[in-house]
Chain A
Amino acid sequence: MLLRFDHVNCIYDPDASEPVHALTDVSLSVGGGEFVGLIGHTGSGKSTLVQHMNGLLRPTSGTVFADDTDIWSDRYDRKALRARVGLVFQYPEHQLFETDVLADVCFGPRNLGRSREDAERDAKEALSMVGIEEALFSQSPFDLSGGQKRRVAIAGVLAMHPEILILDEPTAGLDPRRREEILSLISELHETQHISIVLVSHSMEDVARYADRILVMDNGKVLYDDPPAAVFARHRELAAIGLRAPEAALLLSELSEAGLSGFDTYAVSAEDTAKEILQAMHSPQGVAADREGAV
């Protein structure tokens, strides 16, 4: 499934004296099996953008196409769209409400009109995808740990079999270990279930390792829509709009400004960064450049 935005504008309160342009002339596409990172500081328009992706918000002007059909055309089934384009909100655990875990995850598929058995089957499948053991199915979702709650909330969306999964800040407020768990879970869903991913975050590090493409939003506009390497190369522009390039990109660019050259500056992991540095230190150009730089 492919979602395509064609010159989409969103204006909150168009009649007010100071209308808010939440989205300005946004054209882009997501889906098609890709893993896309969506980055921007608070208030840049990320959340507004994703709510247009599954038809929760209607553009003030412009068109959102799902596989070439305008999702706001007459008789378009937006309820079905919301199952196909699953949206996991920020702090999704705040939306858990049922008496037990299984019932909570069944809510989505039941709401789509699936039978109780089908819904339970979908829910169990989704729970196993996110690594929640059967022993927990009959527990109250409120008794789970923070990381478990979040995985149950993600299962609630997965149980509807989305083709595109959008996650708004899925790692916010988690400790490093649980952040890693959630990110590798998302990557696994992408690889094994072939679900397209839109990962919304203000952390470059989070998206850097997995995304095929990064969309950078600022002030309601799409500023960059490029592969990660091209985006990180603009670390100064990113800093100017309140974002931080990954630590690796900052480190390598500082080293190259200081005269140590000879690496491509797109490493993300500590391992790749160390490799780049070793290579530059041992390369004749690297040392020569350093010598010149030092003079």
Chain B
Amino acid sequence: MSTSADSSRAARDILDARDLTFRYVRRDEEGQVVQATVALDGVSFSIRAGDFIAIIGHNGSGKSTLAKHLNALLLPDQGTLFVDGLDTHDAAKILEIRRTAGMVFQNPDNQIIGQIVEEDVAFGPENLGVPTEKILTRVENALSRVDMLKKRHASPNKLSGGQKQRVSIAGILAMKPKVLILDEPTAMLDPSGRQEVLSAVHALNRDEGITAILITHDMEEAADADRVIVMDRGKIAMTGTPREIFSRSEELATLGLAVPFPTQVADLLGKQGVSLPGTPINRQELVAMILQTASAFK
């Protein structure tokens, strides 16, 4: 069904935001506006299919509001957002948009509804009207991609936080999405749960080309993305590769954000006159650069 024009569009931009503006409005009983907060203020960007994007920014910077626009949970007051070429303003396309871009939230307990794991994962495709005989295959397939197939008959209550989040991801995969939007999916998990979820998302992105949009407070998580978008007061403050972003630590500090720990250490070494051959954004890079510099001391 897909024409060559379609596929070239997909290869270009899966998400395309033009001048998004959104305000949260509080009204009194008479419907008069009491308070209006601008959450998005003229946000434009485009994201290529298959990219892994991290969105960072402190609380209230607009990241979650932006995420909710990406699958039409919120519609912009002004501006337009295209999801795989579909305009989120087009009410007739809402289902298709939500199938294309699925969202995983922070709290695993608020998004699991099934009594057993496979029932929960089947909920999405059932809702989309996928024929029953095909649902089973989709559910099995989705669960195996996040390594949760052996828990298919388990009760979600018996799962760890990391397992619950992987079930939530499977629930979205069962709808065959092109984009996975994750709003701080690891904030409530312990270190091993966090690792499970991140590995699953990276594998889906790397092996299947699913576009991943990860909203996070964790700079180490952001360092593993292809590109980072920094939000501040409803605007995009910076955008670039993790290395480009994290080499601007002073600018980030003014936005209330820190760079990853290895980058902080490298900055401090630089101030003490030890200049490393680049900006390390993870521990492996820093260790290699320090060893290289240390042996040059001889």
Interfacial residues, chain A to chain B (CB-CB below 8 A)? 41-43, 145-147, 172-178, 202-203, 242-244, 247-248, 250-251, 254-255, 258-260, 270-271, 273-274, 277-278, 280-282, 286-287, 290-291, 294
Question: In whole angstroms, how far apart are the Cα atoms of A177 and B258 in the complex?
Answer: 9
How many residues of B are in contact with the other chain, CB < 8 A? 36
Given contacts A42-B161, A250-B283, contact A274 B298 (CB under 8 A): no
Q: Is B286 an interface residue (CB 8 A)?
A: yes
Chain B, Cβ-Cβ closest to A251: B283
The 8 Å CB contact of B187, one of A42, A172, A244, A281, is A172
Q: Complex formed: what's the CA distance from A19 to B58 in Å?
A: 44
Given contacts A281-B297, A290-B294, contact A271 B268 (CB under 8 A): yes
Chain A residues near B32: list those with CB within 8 A: none
Contact B261 A247 (CB under 8 A): yes
Residues of chain A with a CB closer than 8 A to B283's CB: 247, 250-251, 254
Using a CB–CB cutoff of 8 Å, the interface residues on chain B facing chain A are 58-60, 106, 160-161, 184, 187-193, 217, 256-258, 261-262, 264-265, 268-269, 272, 274, 283, 286-287, 290-291, 293-295, 297-298
| B184 proximity list for chain A (CB < 8 A) | 173
Measured CA separation A58–B80 after assembly (Å): 59
Q: With the chains together, A271 CA to B189 CA distance in Å?
A: 28
Interface centre among B265, B293, B297 (most CB of A within 10 A): B265
Q: Of all chain A residues, which has the CB nearest B272? A: A278
Are B264 and A260 closer than 8 Å at their CB atoms?
Answer: no
Given contacts A176-B217, A270-B261, A287-B297, contact A258 B268 (CB under 8 A): no
Q: Which of B184, B293, B297 has the most CB of A within 10 A?
A: B297
For residue B291, which residues in chain A have a CB less than 8 angstroms away from its CB? 255, 258-260, 290, 294
Contacts of B106 in A (CB 8 A): 173
Would you give the shortest CB distance from B24 to chain A, in whole angstroms?
13
* Set of chain B residues within 8 Å of A145, measured between Cβ atoms: 59-60
Does B190 contact A41, Cβ atoms closer than 8 Å?
Answer: yes
Q: Which of B161, B256, B294 has the most CB of A within 10 A?
A: B294
Please indicate the chain A residues that have their CB under 8 angstroms from the CB of B297 in the complex: 281-282, 287
Contact of A42 among B193, B217, B262, B293 (CB under 8 A): B193
